[in-house]
Amino acid sequence: MTQQSIALDPASRALARRRPDPVTEPRAVRWVLIGIAILFLVLFLVLPLLSVFYQALSKGFGPFFAALADPDALAAIKLTLLTAVIAVPLNVVFGLAASWTIAKFDFKGKSLLLTLIDLPFSVSPVIAGLVYVLLFGAQGWLGPWLQDHNVQIIFAVPGIVLATIFVTFPFVARELIPLMQAQGSDEEEAARVLGASGWQLFRRVTLPNVKWGLLYGVILCNARAMGEFGAVSVVSGHIRGQTNTMPLHVEILYNEYNFVAAFAVASLLALLALVTLVLKLIAERGVREELGNKS
């Protein structure tokens, strides 16, 4: 019996014993909350995913693979992969530079830089696409100069890449900034005192400390790059076989009532979502293990 329980009178001790643990809910409440969560997952995640694959395979594997082998579908898949291959590495470079700058240095305009990084989260992707049209379109500010030099950005691959970079560039930076801020700069300062160069400092100290957060940001960035619709739709021109990414190709097929082909391509995007989820769980586990080892 502790000193605290001895100090209490018998009535107070009986009341304390009857009082439930404030962090423990009754079993009925827990089961209700768990049931609601499972119900929402089934209704809004599991059933939609199953319906996509069901519709894609409703007429068998032959039409399914024929839809994926269609030249327009292959062109859309290639363009989606090309866009991600260009946009994601550029966002990795930007994210590392921005997070390093914000986490390791104090300077005027730091809050403004953080606000600008978050801008794509608050701006509609359609608005972002319209901004690029106003800048690089035929009637835009730089349109006449681009036409004179035979450079086409809008309704071409460069416009799609630029729009994708805009909507995805916060993901890597926003994963790394709080991680670098939490780690501080003690290890970097120690390495600097020991004579490490800037590149050695980054490669042997900073990068290993943020590798799981970087992987997490890359996964999210890649998923958004491949699935982006709004901004890409505005700048692409919907030129079949040339400027259609996978989401745009799904929309065209669906509007043409070609449901099997539409859901066949959509199933690839659904598989991408599932793979992203698995990789996300792996990255989260790596982050937890790394933090546990350091603690």
3-state secondary structure 256-276: CCCHHHHHHHHHHHHHHHHHH
Cβ(53)–Cβ(270) below 8 Å: yes
pLDDT of residue 29: 84
Residues 6+ apart with CB under 8 A from 118: 170, 174
Left, alpha or beta for 26 (phi > 0: left; psi -120 to 50: alpha)? beta
Dihedral of alpha carbons 99, 101, 107, 110, sign: negative
pLDDT tens per residue, range 166-206: 999 899 998 888 888 887 777 777 777 777 776 777 777 77
pLDDT at residue 123 tops 80: yes
User: Taking every pair of C-alpha atoms in the chain, what is the biggest distance, in angstroms?
Assistant: 92
Residue that wins the pLDDT comparison between 5 and 241: 241
pLDDT of residue 105: 81
Pair of tokens at residue 165: 């970079």
pLDDT band at residue 75 using 50, 70 and 90 as cut-offs: very high
Q: Phi, psi at residue 15, to the nearest 5°?
A: -65, -40
User: In angstroms, rounded to a whole number, what is the distance separating the alpha carbons of residues 289 and 283?
Assistant: 10
Residue that wins the pLDDT comparison between 14 and 39: 39
Residue that wins the pLDDT comparison between 5 and 192: 192
Pair of tokens at residue 187: 């290890």
Nearest one of 133, 143, 137 to 163, comparing CA atoms? 133
pLDDT tens per residue, range 248-266: 999 999 999 999 999 999 9
